[in-house]
Structure 1
Amino acid sequence: MRDSALKAGLVGLAVGAGVCWALYGLASRRRRRRKGADPGEREPSALLRAASGLPLVSSSSGKREAATPQQAGIDFPNSPHGLGTEDLQNLIYLLESTKDSAIQEQVLITLSNSAAFSINQDTIRNLGGLPVVGKMLSVPVANIKEKALNALNNLSMNIENQEVIKAYIARVCEETCSAPLNSELQLAGLRLLTNMSVTNNYHSMMISSIPGFLYLLSAGNERTQVHVLRVLVNLSANPAMTEHLLKAQAPFLLSLFDSCTKEDVLLRLLVFVTNLAKHMKKDKNTVHYEYNEDSVFSVLWGDSTLCAQKLASLFHHHDMEVREQVAKLISQQC
């Protein structure tokens, strides 16, 4: 009955944003009939049109700035209260009830934008929206998965939300490592994993994906390398992850210790290795593990002469931050 009622509302409408607004209105009216809503509440189609027109808040720099109405060129309240609880509830209901990928994408963008505001992050969790967004990772459409990852990324800025999102870490790792190389889907996954790896709480859930992360470091473009190194740096900051990272295969690693490597990549790579060296210095047992010849440990410290030559060359790098990080790494190895 529910699907029939929704389909009836689509007669004469084009697939796309117009469909999304119409369905949102149907969902909203249905919920009002069930719960008795305020008759003076705002027109839902205009609300969705405004909210979904905002740019996604998911910058590659890691900084999050909510777009203002002036930047977006629309008349939308520059306030965390721009979307109320009833609005968010209707959006979650719509996402849960529709099978149309165009509608799913539009709603996910709207939820992602609303999650730029911390108050909405709590509201979406309290309304049960996180599992609804998480289920979108199973939709076999790349754009839907990407938009779901973007929404989860913004929602993961909330510690309580991370406790719910952790259930999807394995799936996110799988999607990230198997996505087309350098794709937006892959980058969306890496951004979410960066947020989820800021604390040590969920590192153990990413251990099996370390080989995949290192592959992306070797094969990806500069943007992918920067994003995957953010994850690897977070993991390497945790002493409990040292053994897992040192045992991983990375025969290419020393080749990145080169002045031709972009500074953004090189600096993060040096931080990653410095973290490992610091933990090894504190825990002497790590050097006695059995390592494959292509492991991170063997590549970096199996032939100390080659590594020393690479670092000596980088000590004269034109970028001061790179030189400073090289000095830190050398001090950890003394």
Structure 2
Amino acid sequence: MSLVGRLTRSLLLVALGAGGCYCLYRVLCRRKRPGGGSGGILGRVSGMPVRGSAEAGSEDIPESASNLQPHHLRTLLQMLSSNSDALAQEQVLITLCNSAAFSVNHDVIRNLDGIHIIGGLLSHPNPKIKAGALNALNNLSMNLQNQEQIQALLNEILVITTDSPLNSEVQLAGLRLVINLSVTNNYHEKMEDYFPSLLKLMEEGNDTTKIHIMKILVNLSANPCMTAPLLASKAPSSLTFLFDSRINRDILIRALTFAANLSENLGRDQQHDGHCYNEGSFHALLFKDPAALQRNVAPLLLMPDMEIKEQVSRCIRSAERLKPYCS
């Protein structure tokens, strides 16, 4: 074979080898990409920040997330239920969570049995998947019809939340979901058995956990039917620190609102009549001596914060009305 022929053959082999490597690279990339051939759907929104709290602003999510159509969501849910790969499931949950931040998708996901499919992953051993499922359900819970389905999972959600490692992302995701489910009075009675565990978290958790628990307690205390169960609950031993002006403002203002709600409910309906409250209960700590509650919160009137002043005034006024019943 001539020199030119040998060079031509060598160049051809190099080109074929390069082509083979490129094909192998494409195959490997497809294997690594969550969801395989459906990676295009995931790629459209999966890089966006997860909106795990109902309080997050809508500006957190780019407008392109609303471009997902019902058939895209159906594909994602099918991937979630049929794919056992943890990385793929985690990515799909992030995508569903982001799409569920748009109210237009709430009914679509529910009608595709999405709440049942997502809820099935609450028992997954991987904390990231468990948190992802809770975050997705949290966004979906902004719809009352969705809440009716999610409340069937409430016991499981509360067990996961209270049993998870303290201050963990799974625990915080669960608390955010319980906050949303406690906004209406519809499911408060299902939460009663978990009051001791939630109060224990408030005592032991960091400020973020405390704020989440206080939001739940404020929602519960706004329901007069929950006054007696809450007053009978064992109060955290460190509860008095909640009225200290040096603590986190978000905790302080919710602690005052919680006490004011309960105090007003008592004064309005005299719900303390006929109930026997143990020492160490919320009732014994807060309302056994209404004058003591007034003395504890009165110094907070010196704070410049008008919202704190308003809640302190509520506490003082309602405690004054309780004195005839407690003397």
TM bin (shorter chain): 0.7 to 0.9
- Counterpart CA distance in 1 for 2:115 and 2:58 is 22
Q: Match of 1:3? A: none
- Counterpart CA distance in 2 for 1:188 and 1:143 is 11
SS of the aligned residue for 1:175 comes to: helix
Deviations 1:138-167 (CA, angstroms, capped at 9, x unpaired): 111111110100000000111111111011
Q: Match of 2:34? A: 20
C-alpha deviation, 1:263, in angstroms: 1.0
Candidates 87, 97, 101, aligned match of 1:102: 87
Contact 2:61 2:98 (C-alpha < 8 Å) held by counterparts? no
Residues 1:65 and 2:58 are matched in the alignment: yes
Candidates 44, 47, 50, aligned match of 2:44: 50
Contact 2:53 2:138 (C-alpha < 8 Å) held by counterparts? no
- Counterpart CA distance in 1 for 2:298 and 2:27 is 70
- Give the letter aligned to residue 67 of structure 1: D
Higher Cα Rg, which structure: 2
SS of the aligned residue for 1:20 comes to: coil
- Counterpart CA distance in 2 for 1:57 and 1:15 is 28
SS of the aligned residue for 2:302 comes to: coil
Identity of aligned residues (%): 43
Aligned residue pairs total 294
User: In 2 relative to 1, CA 68–188 (structure 1 residues): closer, same or farther, beyond 3 Å?
Assistant: closer
Q: Match of 2:3? A: none
User: In 2 relative to 1, CA 297–223 (structure 1 residues): closer, same or farther, beyond 3 Å?
Assistant: same
Contact 1:156 1:196 (C-alpha < 8 Å) held by counterparts? yes
C-alpha deviation, 1:19, in angstroms: 3.3
User: In 2 relative to 1, CA 14–137 (structure 1 residues): closer, same or farther, beyond 3 Å?
Assistant: farther
Q: Match of 1:154? A: 139
- Give the letter aligned to residue 262 of structure 1: N
Deviations 1:250-302 (CA, angstroms, capped at 9, x unpaired): 13222221111111100011111111111111121424411110100001122
Contact 2:287 2:293 (C-alpha < 8 Å) held by counterparts? yes
Deviations 1:44-73 (CA, angstroms, capped at 9, x unpaired): 42221121111112347x24415354xxxx
Q: Match of 2:21? A: none
Contact 1:20 1:103 (C-alpha < 8 Å) held by counterparts? yes
Q: Match of 1:316? A: 302
Deviations 1:72-130 (CA, angstroms, capped at 9, x unpaired): xxxxx6363x1111111111111111222111111100100010111111111011111
C-alpha deviation, 1:14, in angstroms: 6.6
C-alpha deviation, 1:305, in angstroms: 4.5
Q: Give TM-score, length-normalised by structure 1.
A: 0.83
Q: Match of 1:261? A: 247
- Counterpart CA distance in 1 for 2:299 and 2:274 is 29
Candidates 167, 191, 210, aligned match of 1:225: 210
Q: C-alpha root-mean-square deviation of aligned residues, in Å?
A: 1.9
Q: Match of 1:291? A: 277
Residues 1:216 and 2:201 are matched in the alignment: yes
- Counterpart CA distance in 1 for 2:166 and 2:304 is 30
Contact 1:137 1:148 (C-alpha < 8 Å) held by counterparts? yes
- Residue segments in structure 2 that go unaligned for 5+ positions in a row: 1-25, 321-327
- Give the letter aligned to residue 48 of structure 1: L
Deviations 1:161-218 (CA, angstroms, capped at 9, x unpaired): 1111011111111111111111111111111111111110111111111111211221
SS of the aligned residue for 1:137 comes to: coil
- Give the letter aligned to residue 194 of structure 1: I
Q: Match of 2:77? A: 92
